C-alpha cells in the first residue's frame, strides 16, 4: 500500500507550467533595456521558482511558508506580463507558516486563477491568497476576479481539480478538502482545508 501511495503521489505531483517559463522570459527580455534593475529582480524570482521546482522532486510535502514565497514570486513575474491588468495580495498568518502541504498545490490553483480568471477579462482583475488557522486546521483561500460555470465544473474531470482532491486524500485522508465556487457575481473562491498533524 505504501508503495502504491508513493507511486500515485509521484504521478500526481504538480509541475511548473512551461508556458509560464516562456512568458516570464519574454517579460524579462522586454525589461532588460527599459528597466535593468527590475529585470535583474525578475531573474532572481524566476531562479527562486526553478530552484523550488527542483527541490520538490524529492519531497511529499513542503512548508506553507516556502510554497507561499514561490506563489509571491510567480505573481510578481505575472504582474510584469499583465502590467496594470493584475493586482495581487498574498497574506500568510504567521501561525500557519510551518504547516506542511503538498508542493505546488497552492501554486497550481493560483495559476488556474490567472489562466481562467484574470487572462479572460479585458480589464484584468485581482488575485488574493490568504492562509489562516481555523479550528486548528489550515485554511488557504484563493480568490480571483471572474466567474466559473458551476454546472460544467461539477461535471468536469479536469486534471487540476481531480488532481488536487486526490493528492489531498492520499496524504491527509477524509479530513482534508478542496472546494471551488463563485463567492459572488464577481469573484471565484477556491479553498483548501488541511488538518493538523501532518500526513497519514
Query: How do the pLDDT tens digits run along the chain, 200 residues long?
Result: 666 766 666 666 666 777 888 889 999 999 999 999 999 999 999 999 999 988 887 788 899 999 999 999 999 999 999 999 999 999 999 999 999 998 999 999 999 899 888 988 889 999 999 999 998 899 999 999 998 887 766 665 554 677 888 889 888 988 999 999 999 999 999 999 999 764 44
Calpha distance 61→39 (Å, rounded): 31
Q: What is the DSSP string of 90-131?
A: EEE-GGGTT-EE-TTHHHHHHHHHHHHTGGG-TT-EEEEEEE
Please tell me the predicted confidence (pLDDT) of residue 2: 66
Calpha distance 152→29 (Å, rounded): 38
Task: At 176, list the grid cell.
Answer: 482534508
Please tell me the predicted confidence (pLDDT) of residue 9: 66
Which of 182, 179, 174 has its CA nearest to residue 190?
Answer: 179
Calpha distance 23→17 (Å, rounded): 10
- Positive/negative CA dihedral, 160, 20, 18, 61: negative
Instruction: Name residue, grid cell 505546488.
Output: 104
Phi and psi angles of residue 113, each rounded to the nearest 5 degrees, phi first: -60, -40
Amino acid at each position: 500500500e505504501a508503495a502504491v501511495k508513493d507511486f500515485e503521489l509521484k504521478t500526481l505531483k504538480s509541475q511548473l507550467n512551461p508556458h509560464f517559463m516562456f512568458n516570464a522570459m519574454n517579460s524579462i527580455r522586454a525589461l532588460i533595456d527599459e528597466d535593468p534593475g527590475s529585470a535583474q529582480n525578475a531573474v532572481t524570482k524566476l531562479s527562486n521558482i526553478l530552484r523550488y521546482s527542483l527541490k520538490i522532486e524529492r519531497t511529499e510535502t513542503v512548508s506553507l511558508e516556502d510554497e507561499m514565497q514561490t506563489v509571491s514570486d510567480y505573481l510578481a513575474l505575472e504582474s510584469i506580463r499583465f502590467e496594470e491588468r493584475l493586482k495581487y495580495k498574498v497574506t500568510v498568518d504567521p501561525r500557519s507558516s510551518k504547516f506542511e502541504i503538498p508542493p505546488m498545490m497552492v501554486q497550481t490553483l493560483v495559476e488556474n486563477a490567472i489562466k481562467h480568471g484574470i487572462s479572460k477579462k479585458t480589464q484584468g482583475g485581482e488575485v488574493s491568497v490568504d492562509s489562516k488557522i481555523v479550528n486548528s486546521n489550515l485554511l488557504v483561500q484563493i480568490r480571483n476576479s471572474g466567474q466559473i460555470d458551476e454546472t460544467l465544473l461539477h461535471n468536469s474531470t479536469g486534471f487540476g481539480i481531480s488532481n488536487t482532491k486526490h493528492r489531498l486524500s492520499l496524504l491527509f485522508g477524509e479530513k482534508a478538502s478542496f472546494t471551488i465556487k463563485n463567492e459572488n457575481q464577481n469573484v471565484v473562491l477556491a479553498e483548501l482545508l488541511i488538518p493538523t498533524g501532518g500526513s497519514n
